[in-house]
A and B are shown apart, each in its own frame.
Chain A
């Protein structure tokens, strides 16, 4: 305002509006510094505020992706170690089968090996029924309870669903959090589909006198056991690949988080040095205005009359 005042009322009005506006600006700067945020309400900068809202939303959803990814990692690690245990058990079964296949041992010894083999079968069924971090069947697909149940004749029967659920990892990426039992326990021998537990169970039955020539059955089972071991280690490789994928996506998520945080600071944050300097400048101007107002308002001709 550059109007030269000749009216006392106008002088006071102008001084009041000038000082009030300076004070309001200083207070705004102060609140920006205090809150470390350039915006106190959306209307300060609608575009930036909308961007900040979207970033906050992505942030919130990304946190959930992170916790989902952790859960998937835990399940996959559990699946991996369980599969290692199964592989070890199958190796033991192979050693026992090799022993049983030799003709030098007695049928009593073979029966004992058969009993050991039956115990290994139970171990594998137990391992296949492992529960995941939330207490559901790890290898049972989307089934909540056991993956395998034993039927009347003691055979393990898969009772889960055909596939395992996917967990979203954000940005449209997903990971299958485990494998179903049949995916790594089923294989085929000479074109005949079978599974690891059935192979070991029939071998155990054979060694305990179920067939006329147990040694031949043991020799025959060796190949099947090798194929079963292959199937399990293949499954482990798949799980390992998925874990690597999870690592990759979580690294990517971390990078995105950093990028978002940087953008948030860019869009909504303040430059402290800049703001403090501006505030200091505003304070100097405000003090000067107040001082000059005090001086000028005392300048009345009436003070000089006496």
Chain B
């Protein structure tokens, strides 16, 4: 009987020791990413004695039935879903902000207004060399700011495509990791420490994956995960240990598309979706700026042909190139501006053709077009920022809700530390009592 007591106390100390270990592990991992608070599950060990001894039970102490991992599957799925949405919105806004900065900070709008203004100023004295030079210089500024604008748009696009490619690589890497975790999960013992660690890994990987693409997960009985892109009927990214390979293709206009094992796939959320949307907006913006540049070139060069320059020669094109990246001044000579109508002699102050030029430029309305482009992009940024902030706060709430439930609370661990310390001491005390009892029996004489 006292042997039983000793055995029970020994199981008690072992359980308390294990609980203290788990508490220590929890405290150590209080700020580890993806760590889910563990707790020890204890159960009583008892058995009814053999056939004859009905009513008498053998007490055999306590045993550790498992290490519980306090993860809420629903909250984890919420964190993945909302996190994917927030990542999409945030990368899209980031891309759009780059586009906005490219168009706004190049000062292309100001340059266009300055070009208009210099032509208006030239009206006051069409033969003035200084005013003509100022038209050429503001034309040069306009051409080079247009060049700079599309160059920075291209740079932004290059960055976005690089990041998107990196995202695709990440997806493939994470899927490979998940396949390995699946393999090991299949072999892990239920409720073991190994399994808990693997599950932590699995959930962290899934969360990272959902940051790139929208995924739907299905968990099997052995805790392995099947991942599909999009909804429950989407293409399979990972099933057991078989993973599909994602790839990215770039179109001529710089937009990107994704394939999964050769089949086209369109992520609806996640950073990849955000980058792809930003790239579409970028291609659209670049198109508009090209159209505006082409409008300037055809308006100015077209009006030039109907007039004569300061030497009385027929007007030659002022701008060369066909779009915003190729636009440049065709001449540096201010006297080549055809201000006078055809048929007038050299040095004419007749501003008839300058009026035609201004009229053509007014009809092409580059300043208005650039204002519209800036307005489009900036209102897209403003609108998406609201969406992003909303999605980010939803994602934050979801992740804090998960943290609240699955994270480590140091106060609670402190309480556990004392509680299990006391349990350990109490079991030690039981050993002491068993020893005393044994001594009492031996002491009978």
* Contact for A1 among B100, B116, B350, B396, CB less than 8 A: B396
CB nearest to A6 among chain B residues: B409
Q: Does B400 contact A (CB under 8 A)?
A: yes
A130 to B37, CA, bound (A): 97
> Is A61 among interface residues, defined by CB-CB distance under 8 A?
yes
User: Which of B159-167, B212-220, B256-264, B371-379 is the interface stretch?
Assistant: B371-379
A266 to B289, CA, bound (A): 30
CB-defined contacts of B408 to chain A, threshold 8 Å: 7-9
The count of chain A contact residues (Cβ–Cβ below 8 Å) is: 49
Chain B residue at minimal CB-CB distance from A65 = B120
| A44 contacts partner chain B, Cβ-Cβ < 8 Å | yes
B155 part of interface (Cβ distance < 8 Å): no
Answer whether A41 and B125 are a contact pair too, CB < 8 Å, given A9-B30, A46-B382, A136-B349.
no
Bound: A301/B410 CA distance, A: 8
User: Known contacts A136-B349, A143-B349; is A9 also within 8 Å of B403 by CB?
Assistant: yes
B234 within 8 A of A: no
Query: Cα distance A46–B372 when bound, in Å?
Result: 10
Q: Does A53 contact B401, Cβ atoms closer than 8 Å? A: no
A49 in contact with B123 given A61-B113, A144-B348 (CB within 8 Å): no
Is A41 touching B375 in the complex (CB atoms < 8 A)?
A: no
Q: Is the CB of B410 within 8 A of A8?
A: yes
Given that A1-B397, A68-B121 are contacting pairs, would A165 and B410 also be in contact in the complex, using a CB cutoff of 8 Å?
Answer: no
Q: State whether A7 and B414 are in contact (beta carbons under 8 Å apart), knowing that A43-B378, A43-B381, A50-B374 are contacts in the complex.
A: no
Bound complex: CA of A64 vs CA of B131, how far in Å? 12
B97 sits at the interface (CB 8 A): yes
Residues from chain A with a CB closer than 8 A to the CB of B414 are 300-302, 305
A245 to chain B, nearest CB (A): 17
Residue A269 lies at the interface, judged by CB distance under 8 Å to chain B: no
List residues of chain B with CB within 8 A of the CB of A161.
350
- Chain B interface size, as a band, is 35 or more
Asked if B407 is at the interface of the complex by the 8 Å CB criterion, the answer is yes
Chain B, residue nearest A143 (CB): B349
Whether A301 pairs with B374 at a CB distance below 8 angstroms is: no
Q: Tell me whether A165 and B104 are in contact (CB under 8 A).
A: no
Given A143-B349, A144-B127; A67-B121 close (CB under 8 Å) = yes
* Residues of chain A lying within 8 A (CB to CB) of residue B367: 57
Stretch at the interface among A10-18, A77-85, A119-127, A273-281: A10-18
The reply on A27 being an interface residue by CB < 8 A is: no
User: CA of A142 to CA of B127 in the docked complex: distance in angstroms?
Assistant: 10
Which of A41, A50, A165 makes the CB contact (< 8 A) with B349?
A165
The docked-state distance in angstroms from the alpha carbon of A147 to that of B414 is 104
Known contacts A46-B378, A144-B347, A300-B414; A64 and B404 CB within 8 A of each other: no
| B439 lies within 8 A of chain A by Cβ | no
User: Is B124's beta carbon under 8 Å from chain A?
Assistant: yes
Task: From A6, A53, A165, A302, give the contact of B404 (CB < 8 A).
Answer: A6
Which B residue's beta carbon lies closest to that of A174? B123
Contact indicator B113/A60 (Cβ below 8 Å): yes
Chain A residues with Cβ below 8 Å from B30 are 8-9
| C-alpha gap A305/B351 in the complex (Å) | 92
B177 at the interface (CB under 8 A from A): no
Mark A264-295 against chain B: 1 for CB-CB distance below 8 A, else 0. 00000000000000000000000000000000
Chain B proximity of A136: nearest CB distance (Å): 6
Indicate whether A3 reaches chain B with its CB closer than 8 angstroms.
yes
Contact B124 A13 (CB under 8 A): no
User: Of the candidates B117, B350, B403, which one forms a contact with A10 in the assembled complex, judged by CB atoms under 8 Å apart?
Assistant: B403
Whether A43 lies near B397 (C-beta < 8 A) is no
Contacts of B399 on A, CB cut-off 8 Å? Answer: 13
Known: A8-B30, A165-B349. A50 touches B375 (CB 8 A): yes
Could you tell me which B residues sit within 8 Å of A by CB distance?
30-31, 37, 97, 100-101, 104, 109-110, 113-114, 116-117, 120-121, 123-125, 127-128, 347-351, 367, 371, 374-375, 377-379, 381-382, 385, 396-397, 399-401, 403-412, 414-415, 417-418
